[in-house]
Amino acid sequence: MLRVEELHVEVEGKRVLQGINLAIRDGEVVYLLGPNGSGKSSLIQTIMGNPKYKVVSGSITFNGTDLLKLEPHERAQRGLGIVYQIPPKLKGVKLRELLRRLTHMYGTSMEEVEELAKKMDAYKLLDRDLHVGFSGGEMKRAEILLVYAQRPKFILLDEPDSGVDLAGLPVIGEAIRGLLEDGEERSALVVTHTGHIAKYLSGSLAYIMMEGKILCCGELQKVLSDIEEGGFEACMNCVMAELMCYDRAA
């Protein structure tokens, strides 16, 4: 479904991604871990087409289509969706109205979105300006509602468990799982520091990114255990070739 090959990216002349290779199959959930500043969010933003991120070389294809030739809205129309880590605040834009527009655009059900909002204790957010004065957990709930309205084939989840308290994490996790497992074959790339969100989702493959490079991959729980024991620095000595991880998903 998604293939990233030898991707090099710059932001304001600074190289933030260096030769990224990544592949995710149809219906697969893959995790991306790494310390702050390692390039995880840069990869998410580049895949989605943020113009701030300049692709120097390499390619990104989605179901055989060259994404680099498409504008962000065209990528969304092809089936890409994103849950932002820190979404923009939009004064004067009510969440309910934006959801209505999205359900009309993508042919989805506003009634189902409102029902999900009730399940997530987010119904009270619908008539507020988007993300203005929202807590971390409320932002995540709103972002999930927005992506739920689009029903994308592939979801980019940028730290969906950050800023969410322990009571809210099961709510967020169950909502994401419901979207991924609603009968359609959906895939996801999940950026996470802690891996806590994985308790509620499928998928067991984790990639490790540091300094703009993917170092290795492995089984998620083993990777988390190694990080807990030796920190991300231990990944610098990982003997698993990143290319092997890329090829396994070809």
CA–CA dist 213, 7 (Å, integer): 10
- With a pLDDT cut of 70, the percent of the chain lying above it is 93
The strand pairing partners of 219, in sequence order, are 205
Express each pLDDT in 124-153 by its tens digit: 999 999 999 999 999 999 999 999 999 999
Residue the block writes with tokens 């030898």: 6
Average pLDDT over the chain reads 90
- pLDDT number for residue 39: 94
Tokens 């962000």: give the residue: 72
Q: Which residue has the higher pLDDT, 229 or 106?
A: 106
Closest CA to 89 of 41, 143, 51, 46: 143
Domain count for the chain, please give it: 1
3-state secondary structure 82-147: EECCCCCCEEEEEHHHHHHHHHHHHCCCHHHHHHHHHHCCCHHHCCCEECCCCCHHHHHHHHHHHH
Domain that holds residue 212: 2-248
Structure token pair of residue 7: 């991707």
| pLDDT interval class at 15 (50, 70, 90) | very high
**pTM (global) more than 0.85:** yes
What is the reported pLDDT for 243? 45
Q: Cα separation of 228 and 194, whole Å?
A: 9
The contacts of residue 110 (CB under 8 Å, 6+ apart) are: 99, 100, 103, 149
Distance CA(10)–CA(82), nearest Å, equals 21
CATH of the domain at 140: 3.40.50.300
> What's the whole-number mean pLDDT along residues 6-27?
95
